[in-house]
Amino acid sequence: MAERPPSNPFDLKRRQLLKFAGATAAVGGLGLQATLSLADEGKPKASGTDDGVLDVAIIGAGMAGLTAARDLQNAGCQSFVVLEARQRVGGRVLNHDLGGGQISEAGGQWIGPGQTAVADLARELQIDTFPTYYQGKTVVLGGDGRLEIDLKGTFGTDESIGAKLSELSKVVPSGAPWTSPRVAELDKLSMGDWLAQQNIKPEDRSGWDTSLTLTGGVTPAKMGLLHFLSMINSASCDYMKLDSIKDSAQGTRFVGGSQALCTRMAEALGDKLRLACPVREIADWDREVVRLITDQGEVRARRVIVAIHPALCNQVRFQPALPEGRAALQRAWPAHSPARKTAMVYRRPFWRDKGLNGHTLEIKGQVLWAWDNSPPDGEIGVINAFVVNAMVPSDHDAARQVLAQIYARSLGDEALSPIGYHDHDWGQADPWSLTCVSAIPPGFWSQHGPSLRPACGNLIWSGTETAEIWAGYMDGAVRSGHQSALQALGSLRKA
């Protein structure tokens, strides 16, 4: 039977190039190092050439950078290195160790329909998935009131308003929202502006405010309408596939946590991965060999994949200066969308016995959204939450007490006796985690969009923000890693 062609033309290009690269690897490492002699055959390939110049240097060991490294390695390229500023891999995915072999995700954790790139990667790495728990009633807290309601795997937002957004998203390409035929009209509005035009009842508006704040890390007034529509476009132009739990982008988790994908990819890299190695300066990016000045010395490479957050690039010195369009994009990119994620641990998920799903929505309160984040077997109970940083104490013990009181009101007095508590503020975690998500404001794409992806000399831009679909998600990070590896391999062969 003939092989079924991939539905995405990019997947076809990727397969063709990787097959071609694999075929040429035996005669000189992708044809890039033709000086290898017959005497070298059978010996391990060095991580660089005789002059110490690598084919590729990758900045960032998040999901994008590690995917790019994996693709290079699978294609037969051994002349590369991955430089990571942190003492760990994963970037914006991170697992809390709860003990006893259990974890809770501190960063990105979900995948859903259409996110095939990250799902394929998990299968290749033999990492299983399981559904997010949402069976039962959600508790809504507001003032002194408490309401139990079955939201059927949604956040309770108005479906008719969601349908309007879905229809609008059809004219906003996910990979290039600035090319929309309605860009002038749509990019001048925030989501707050647009919602104000829909005559939504105040009691219904709170659901939208919570949902959008969870998605973008900012209030609707700071979220660009054009940007949000491009996100919906990624979800097959279906708002409910983006901002729900059932059959949506929050529908599926990874056994062992999302960081397991990164640690497993990193294990295969050996000494090609350098941790605690921040890049301070990128010089000669417009010449044949790029020089990277790091805390562990200088690295030279013919191509550089920059797989870090665009705003984080502002902490790197570029010599010569980047083209003004790219530099302006980096300066304007939102650098701080506060996201603080907590995990309260219990001996068992006691709320399930009461017909509750563990989800809590607090209107104008300290908890944006809390949910059942227990392991797949329910061996222990875990309630994760996105909290309002300004309203929850920064002190670990004080925050634990405040949240336990809220959960007791929502789920029952058993919540007053947790056996563990974890807290991660992405805005304060380390110098390399400026933010968890990027909420793009009105007007940004119109002005800066065309500068997002084009290479600058021998610099190739990667990271989830550059993805053609599912930008900002783990799936987007994986896609951008594939794309940047292809760019590097292709440009090296042309050279």
**Binding site for substrate: what residues are annotated?**
386
Strand spans (E) along 182-262: 252-254
In Å, what is the CA distance from 225 to each residue of 111, 272, 329?
Answer: 23, 42, 19
Instruction: List binding-site positions for FAD.
Output: 84-85, 279, 465
**CB atoms inside a 10 Å sphere around CB 462:** 30
Give the containing element (helix H, strand E) for 474.
helix 474-494
Instruction: List binding-site positions.
Output: 84-85, 279, 386, 465
* Phi, psi angle pair for 152, to nearest 5°: 55, 45
Q: Which two tokens stand for residue 441?
A: 């404001």
3-state helix, strand, coil in the chain (%, to 5): 40, 20, 40
Q: Are 362 and 406 in contact (CB under 8 A)?
A: yes
- 387/423 Cα distance (integer angstroms): 10
Q: Are 381 and 349 in contact (CB under 8 A)?
A: yes
Q: Are 153 and 244 in contact (CB under 8 A)?
A: yes
Q: Are 262 and 268 in contact (CB under 8 A)?
A: no
The secondary structure of 88-152 as a DSSP string is SS-TT--EEEEETTEEEESS---B-TT-HHHHHHHHHTT--EEEPP--SEEEEEETTEEEEE--T
- For 314, the 3-state DSSP assignment is helix
- 303/54 Cα distance (integer angstroms): 8
What's the one-letter identity of residue 286? Answer: D
- 297/287 Cα distance (integer angstroms): 20
- 250/246 Cα distance (integer angstroms): 7
In Å, what is the CA distance from 244 to each residue of 248, 257, 316, 422?
Answer: 5, 20, 38, 25
Residues contacting 123, CB < 8 A, separation 6+: none
Four-residue CA torsion sign, 97, 102, 106, 107:
positive
What's the one-letter identity of residue 265? Answer: M
Q: Which two tokens stand for residue 130?
A: 């399981």
